[in-house]
Amino acid sequence: MHKAGRAKAEKHMRQLELKDSMKIGIKELDDQHQQLTEIINELYYAYMQGNHRAVLCGLITRLNDYAHEHFALERQYMERFVFEMPDYEQHMQEHREFFTDAIGFLLRYIEEGSEITPEMLDYLQGWWKDHVMVRDKELGRFLRSRGVTA
């Protein structure tokens, strides 16, 4: 990787951690967010250290599989209240965008052998943080207002 690119990625991505401000107050979902954040970090560090393609592909696949599982669980929570939830469709749409955009670029690395760039990892991290901070926090507030905490 180009040196400037590496420095840029490092500057942006070093601090990805699930801070208390990102917690949504639903334990099961917060635990999964923690796991997903750890996989994103692992992928980032593996990339920075110049790990082999097999290692990166393994991490991208793990992230992809776990994201499917996580979004399915959020959907289950939301479907209990689907008629009362004004942002249900937008939330579902963002989950779809995770696969077409955020991790989509990285899936192309597996399928087509295209290069990973720091910008892709930066985008993935930004997407993830924004989604949790806005949509998932809204979901957490809503569920708690309906007495859900597990």
List of residues contacting Fe ion (CB under 5 A): 74, 136
Tokens 């989604």 label which residue? 131
- Tell me whether residue 34 or residue 114 sits nearer to Fe ion (CB atom): 34
- Tell me whether residue 53 or residue 141 sits nearer to Fe ion (CB atom): 141
CB of 78 to Fe ion, least distance (A): 9
- Tell me whether residue 9 or residue 128 sits nearer to Fe ion (CB atom): 128
The helices-and-strands tally (H runs, E runs) of the chain is 7, 0
Contact between residue 108 and residue 57 where contact means Cβ atoms under 8 Å apart: no
CB of 28 to Fe ion, least distance (A): 11
CB of 128 to Fe ion, least distance (A): 9
- Tell me whether residue 43 or residue 143 sits nearer to Fe ion (CB atom): 143
CB of 73 to Fe ion, least distance (A): 8
Contact between residue 9 and residue 122 where contact means Cβ atoms under 8 Å apart: yes
- At 63, which amino acid appears? L
User: CB nearest Fe ion: which residue?
Assistant: 136
The three-state secondary structure class of 71 is helix
Who's near 22: CB < 8 A, 6+ residues apart?
33, 129, 132, 133, 137
